[in-house]
Structure 1
Amino acid sequence: MNTFILPSNPNTYDAQQAFNDLHTIHWVQHNNKSVSVGDIIYIYESKPTQRIILKTEVVGRDIDSYHIDDSKYSTSGIDFSSKGPWLILRLIQNIDTCISLQDLHELGLKGNIQALRRLDDDIANTLDLLVSDFSELTSVLAAEGKKTKVYSTRYERSPKNRHDAIRIHGLNCKVCGFNFEKKYGTLGHEFIEIHHKKPLYLNDAEINIDPVNDLVPLCSNCHRMIHRDKYNVLTVEDLKKILLA
């Protein structure tokens, strides 16, 4: 499986709304031969957003029949159904973590994102860790058999703060000591969730984060237990006491 990044112009096509409403859409393939079914494609939205907005999976390629009606998401009047062949992309998740072009450059990406590009494995793995990081106020989208619209507030997160927190605190859960790599081998390499001791939604304005005192690594189970009651977020010490009781 390979990972790619693809630019999207909001002045031409409202990709985020299209994926949120339809979940699976066509995307022009051009003469590309390197993308395969099962590959991951991150969608980077250009100005004014200038960040990654979506994570998608390729579920079809070489499609010559445009059968998904997404015409209302064309913000420029362009008829995208006349420019085949197409890939079919399925939405995996909206990206709440703010990952800008500058962040991607710090991860090792060269140049701008002007066309479909394959990402180096190191960059792809880091992105996967960043976007899978647990987010406060997580909303569940899914009721079997019917569509459910979910509206949520997004809280920006800095990849640099995550990197600094791991460098300072390590990769062991600070509550139970769990280490993903020790348990899962290479699959769990450098995987951990980073917890904000003061939930971001309590701040009305942008604040500076101190990775030493404000952030702590947690395994997925402990992180969710700390946030289980969003009106009474536990401290690391509180959860340790519960675990040891």
Structure 2
Amino acid sequence: MDSSITIIKNDNLLFEAVNIQEAAIILAEALNTTLPRCNDLIERGYVYNIPYYDKDDEYRFVASKEVADKRRKELEDNNHNNARRIWLVPANPNEYDLESAFSRYETLDWKRSCNYEKGDILFMYVSGNIKKVRYKVEVIEGLVRTNNITYDSALWIDDEKFKQSKEWKYMRFRFVDEVDTDELSLKKLREHGLKGNIQGAMKLTGELQAYIMSFFEYHLIEDYYPDEVSRTLEEGKRKTVTVNVYERNPIARKRCIDYYGVQCQVCDVDFENKYGEVGKDFIHVHHIKPLHEIQQGYIVDSIKDLIPVCPNCHAMLHRQENGRYLSIEQLKNRIFTVVK
């Protein structure tokens, strides 16, 4: 098995090491630090694609997928210090409307109350009248720069907290999955190892971690959320149709697919039936409401506004004919009608 490690600094190749030991030596010299520390940085880097920042420099570490997958399993099976960290994080619905936030944004900026790192998994416990673990998210930026933070006062219930939030440090996460079950209530969590109340973020380990994780099995795959849909080829140039933010919103997509399934609602294609395992759960989601009709503050309705379609039908729905877009029913009729 090829165990080489590539070190990339600011998008430029710094060194190709034959193994992690050699990579750690090179990095230790570059950073003027210890070998054990560099070994940890490199291991978390290539296993979880977590960059390391030193002042204005960004270091990335790359290994083969086979090596990264094997080492990740070893780390997590043995609860190693370099394994991806799992957190339980409280969210107060009387202060912030988390559900609306997930419906409106692809990613959210959240108070950095702990030393979160890219790749960490957070399970969001919604307090108030709900008192359940509801969401699974993944940290994509451990520390968001101040000038890149998104503030949205419309999502805050508590105006005073919103004012205070301007002074916080933030991390950024993406939605992965949601569940709504009494099996993840505060009472049930206590039955499986939780001690006391959930006042702040805490690392999950042991029985409680395993119990919570067992309810979340849905994984987002970036390939399922293309930024553009191939439309046609003309004179060697690819024309594209940009997929709007509502079609990429992960929580809206999931609710839409949970309701309709993964079969194209226009041509009835099911990718798993057609291509086997490689096509399992693959489908695009089309936003029915025209963008020019969307008003400020609009929150997508996953059932009324979105519908699953295959890439071909999706591309056709984004094309205009005589200045108009075809509706789902119009396109469906085209498939079964010969147009002369």
Bin for the TM-score computed over the shorter chain: 0.5 to 0.7
Task: Pick from 80, 96, 100 the counterpart of residue 13 of structure 1.
Answer: 96
Matched with 2:276 is none
Task: Pick from 143, 150, 165 the counterpart of residue 62 of structure 1.
Answer: 143
For 1:1-245, list aligned pairs within 5 A.
1-30=84-113, 32-33=114-115, 35-65=116-146, 66-77=148-159, 78-79=162-163, 81-98=165-182, 99-132=184-217, 145-146=243-244, 147-148=246-247, 149=252
| Greater RCO, 1 or 2 (C-alpha within 8 Å, sep 6+) | 1
User: What amino acid maps onto 1:27 in structure 2?
Assistant: W
Contact conserved, 2:135 with 2:175, CA < 8 A, in 1?
A: yes
Q: Which has the larger strand fraction?
A: 2
| Distance (whole Å) between structure 2 residues aligned to residue 24 and residue 55 of structure 1 | 13
Deviations 1:158-179 (Å, cap 9, x if unpaired)? xxxxxxxxxxxxxxxxxxxxxx
- TM-score, normalization: structure 2? 0.39
Identity rate of aligned residues, in percent?
25
| Distance (whole Å) between structure 2 residues aligned to residue 47 and residue 119 of structure 1 | 21
Deviations 1:140-195 (Å, cap 9, x if unpaired)? x968623244667x9xxxxxxxxxxxxxxxxxxxxxxxxxxxxxxxxxxxxxxxxx
User: What amino acid maps onto 1:16 in structure 2?
Assistant: E
C-alpha displacement of 1:58: 0.9
Contact conserved, 1:57 with 1:89, CA < 8 A, in 2?
A: yes
| Distance (whole Å) between structure 2 residues aligned to residue 69 and residue 95 of structure 1 | 26
C-alpha displacement of 1:81: 4.6
- TM-score, normalization: structure 1? 0.53
Unaligned runs of 5+ in 1: 134-140, 155-245
- Structure with bigger gyration radius: 2
| Distance (whole Å) between structure 2 residues aligned to residue 10 and residue 116 of structure 1 | 16
Matched with 1:183 is none
SS in 2 for 1:122: helix
C-alpha displacement of 1:12: 0.5
| Distance (whole Å) between structure 2 residues aligned to residue 132 and residue 80 of structure 1 | 35
| Distance (whole Å) between structure 2 residues aligned to residue 39 and residue 118 of structure 1 | 10
User: What amino acid maps onto 2:191 in structure 1?
Assistant: E
Unaligned runs of 5+ in 2: 1-83, 219-223, 228-242, 259-340
Contact conserved, 2:149 with 2:170, CA < 8 A, in 1?
A: no
Deviations 1:182-210 (Å, cap 9, x if unpaired)? xxxxxxxxxxxxxxxxxxxxxxxxxxxxx
| Distance (whole Å) between structure 2 residues aligned to residue 88 and residue 80 of structure 1 | 18
SS in 1 for 2:150: coil
C-alpha displacement of 1:121: 3.5
